[in-house]
Amino acid sequence: MTITAPPPVKTLPRPTWQAISVQVILFGLFAAALWSIASLKINVATIIDSIGNATDFLARIFPLDFPPIGELAAMTGQTLGIVLLATVLAVVLSIPVALGAARNTAPAAALRMPARAIIVVTRAIPELVLAILFLRLFGLGAIGGILALGIHSIGMVGKLYADAIEDSDPGPRDALRAAGATWWQQITGGVLPQIMPAVVATALHRFDINLRASVILGYVGVSGIGLELSAALRTMNYQRGMALALFIVALCVIVELISGSLRRMVLGDKAPARRSLFSRLRERVSGARNGWVDSEPGSAQAPTALRTSDGRYRISPPWTGERIAHTAYVALFVLALLVSTWAANLDLSRMAEGFGSMWNTLSLFFPPDTGGIGDELWKQLIVTLQIALAATLIGLIVAIPVGLLAARNVAPTPGIAKGFRVFIVIVRGIPDLILAIIVIVVTGLGATAGAIALSVGAIGLLSKLIADSVEETDIRVQQAVVAGGATRMQVLIAATVRQSGPAIIAHLFYQLDTNIRAATLLGVVGAGGLGFYLMNAARVMQFDVVTMIVLMIFVVVMVVEGLAIWVRKVVS
């Protein structure tokens, strides 16, 4: 009798040192966040003690004092004009930067490194600091806000455009190259048309962000609603201040809803993917029926497809309903651009004078110096990190259930998913500065108010990112687990959350990065951290101290960014 040996028992692979290091990093961040919450005294007792202040605050803001309709419309038009011009400036500047940063359009590392450095630096320098610089150059008004928001936006917009360029189909560009086209002809004919949906969608998303950021720039003299809000709160006119704050929140939510609808019109339910051969053939057949798309070279059908009804050759696509709609969109955009330029009230002569004195102004910011308060700056840097860590953890705890219930493949019913999506849009529409102002009035000045305000903002962003990541999971894995008899909760944990885990970790680092920058800015209104000293240094014209604070934040952000990149590589 032959005895067959049993099959070898499969064992789980031993964790590598990279995996262990990731676990140590995540545990360390979790412990640091808990320490930050305890150090900032964010607890139930603090909230209960603040109930009386909240009641007094509510009594002081009613009745709300809204400005006259004409004045409010003028402020709104000026703010939207600044934001639109800043976003367009960011798009115009980001496209060449992205072409230089993408591997397929700039294969040489010597070309990519400067472009990527521009993306990193513009993203790391807060728009508030850029506004201080440009207001020093051009004086109070809209110019400083447009340049500050536009240049800071290159960090995000340029990176996303570079990613879209790298993901584009190389086929059209290869065909143009084979036909003898120049590099620029290859870009304009084979690359830019493919990424145009991503260009529009990213610009719309950045418009939302710039609208919320424009509020804080009012505290340094950028015109618009933010300037009026800062003036009202500095004079403790809470009835006018909270009326403007409520109007800003409503404006941000409305713009977010409109922008989201436009993004869905441009991209559909998901980002554009590379076109398959079948898709290109289907487009060719559809275009041939319309009488303008070229068919295969040398085929007998080509001359007929390119001729019009009177026998002439067609040199442009026909005026279909889609082309008419696109032309109307472009015309509306150009009109909005002209109106925004008029509403912003740009002074070109002042711009020329400012650029003429640029080098003298820049010399005020260098070399960096602590101004004799180096020890205090390092202490406040730790406070800034505590605010960011505490806000990220609190936001994550709330965002996980909210994000899961907002995902269509997890929510019990479509109505529940839609309801939570609406909740996320509303929360995301509230600027962090407005939240910080309200919390400061209720709880008092300090880092606790900043952490609570940022945690609310983190709930909105993390919930959306988690919901999107969960919806992008492979449904076949979930179906396989269901076929094995798993319950709904087992499917959620074993299949859905397990697949989206790496993406959620990446979102967590992104939120921490965002909160570090935001914690610096909220110090402007007394929410603790380096922002308070940043604003004071700017007011007394110690611009070398401003540069030192920016460098401190820059180093911290780069460390977090490096950890995020490394962790994503290990867990993906």
Q: What is the DSSP letter of 133?
A: H
Which among 33-42, 82-91, 296-305, 511-520 has the top mean pLDDT?
Answer: 82-91
- Kindly report the backbone phi and psi dihedral angles of residue 313, in degrees, each rounded to the nearest multiple of 5, phi listed first: -80, 135
Q: How confident is the model at residue 288 (pLDDT cuts 50, 70, 90)?
A: very low
* Peptide bond connecting 63 to the previous residue in cis, omega within 30 degrees of 0: yes
Using the predicted structure, report yes or no on whether residue 1 has a pLDDT greater than 60: no
Quote the pLDDT of residue 294. 42
DSSP-derived 3-state class of residue 313: strand
**β partners of residue 307:** 313
pTM: 0.78
Using the predicted structure, report yes or no on whether residue 317 has a pLDDT greater than 50: yes
Q: How confident is the model at residue 238 (pLDDT cuts 50, 70, 90)?
A: confident
Q: How confident is the model at residue 90 (pLDDT cuts 50, 70, 90)?
A: very high
Q: By the 8 A CB rule, do 411 and 543 touch?
A: no
d(Cα 552, Cα 124) in Å, to the nearest integer?
A: 11
d(Cα 107, Cα 126) in Å, to the nearest integer?
A: 30
* Peptide bond connecting 367 to the previous residue in cis, omega within 30 degrees of 0: yes
From the number of C-beta atoms within 10 Å of its C-beta (0-12, 13-18, 19+), residue 359 rates as exposed
- The predicted-structure confidence for 51-78, as pLDDT tens digits, reads as follows 777 777 777 788 888 889 989 998 898 8
Using the predicted structure, report yes or no on whether residue 152 has a pLDDT greater than 70: yes
**Contacts for 374-380: CB closer than 8 Å, 24+ residues apart:** 376/533, 377/530, 377/533, 377/548, 377/549, 377/552, 378/552, 380/523, 380/528, 380/529, 380/530, 380/532, 380/533
Quote the pLDDT of residue 443. 76
d(Cα 348, Cα 346) in Å, to the nearest integer?
A: 6
- The predicted-structure confidence for 468-516, as pLDDT tens digits, reads as follows 888 777 777 766 777 777 666 767 777 777 777 788 888 888 888 888 8
In sequence order, the 6+-apart residues with CB closer than 8 A to the CB of 299 are none
Q: How confident is the model at residue 283 (pLDDT cuts 50, 70, 90)?
A: very low
Point out the least confidently predicted range of 251-255, 552-556, 567-571: 567-571
- Kindly report the backbone phi and psi dihedral angles of residue 372, in degrees, each rounded to the nearest multiple of 5, phi listed first: 80, 5
CATH code matching the domain that covers 62-276, chosen among 3.30.200.20, 1.10.3720.10, 1.20.1250.20, 2.170.150.70: 1.10.3720.10
**β partners of residue 222:** 141
Quote the pLDDT of residue 296. 42
Point out the least confidently predicted range of 4-8, 366-370, 433-437, 480-484: 4-8
Stretch(es) of the chain classified as CATH 1.10.3720.10:
16-49+374-572, 62-276
For the domain made up of 16-49+374-572, the CATH class stated in words is mainly alpha
Dihedral, CA of residue 548, residue 552, residue 553 and residue 558, to nearest 10: 130
- The predicted-structure confidence for 15-43, as pLDDT tens digits, reads as follows 677 778 888 888 999 999 999 998 888 87
Using the predicted structure, report yes or no on whether residue 245 has a pLDDT greater than 60: yes
Using the predicted structure, report yes or no on whether residue 240 has a pLDDT greater than 50: yes
- Kindly report the backbone phi and psi dihedral angles of residue 204, in degrees, each rounded to the nearest multiple of 5, phi listed first: -65, -40
d(Cα 515, Cα 530) in Å, to the nearest integer?
A: 13
d(Cα 424, Cα 51) in Å, to the nearest integer?
A: 25
